[in-house]
């Protein structure tokens, strides 16, 4: 016999190697999901909610760089006033940011907190972790 029995018995079935080689691919997908896919889905969901809540009087920025005030809201379009007596019809999907909402009338009886106080979260960390 040319081959010793010890060498012939050393060959083990390779069933576990497949899962070990597949593990890095699974880990890469998990990292991509939490770092890229999930934040992008959240951003799209927030943008869709912002578009659905647009109303008359809101000041918006379009993806083309036009800033204007909404005068009329339709199903798929908005009428945006960009200058006095100049209105353009804009698709809702092109609105990229809500600049400001109309401010309600100021209540003079309400006490206002001091600006920049630590309790109101106006410092650097308050701005950093703003919800």
Summarised one tens digit per residue, pLDDT across range 6-34 is 555 555 555 568 888 899 999 999 999 99
- 10 Å CB burial of residue 90 (0-12, 13-18, 19+) is buried
Summarised one tens digit per residue, pLDDT across range 45-85 is 999 999 999 999 999 999 999 999 999 999 999 999 999 99
For the chain, helix, strand, coil in percent to 5 are 40, 25, 35
User: Has this prediction a pTM greater than 0.75?
Assistant: no
First-to-last alpha carbon distance for the chain, in angstroms, is: 77
CA 43 – CA 47 distance, rounded (Å)? 6
Domains of the chain and CATH, by start: 17-103 (2.30.30.100)
Cβ within 8 Å of residue 93, ≥6 positions away: 51
């Amino acid at each position: 016999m040319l081959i010793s029995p010890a060498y012939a018995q050393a060959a083990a079935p390779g069933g576990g190697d497949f899962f070990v080689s597949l593990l890095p691919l699974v880990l890469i997908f998990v990292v991509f999901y939490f770092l890229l896919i999930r934040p992008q889905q959240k951003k799209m969901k927030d943008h869709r909610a912002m578009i659905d809540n647009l109303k008359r009087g809101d000041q918006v920025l379009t993806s083309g760089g036009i800033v204007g005030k909404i005068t009329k809201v339709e199903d798929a379009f908005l009428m945006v006033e960009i200058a006095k007596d100049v209105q353009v019809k804009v698709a809702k999907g092109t609105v990229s940011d809500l600049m400001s909402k109309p401010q309600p009338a100021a209540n003079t009886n309400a006490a206002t907190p001091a600006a920049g106080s630590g309790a109101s979260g106006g410092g650097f960390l308050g701005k950093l972790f703003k919800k």
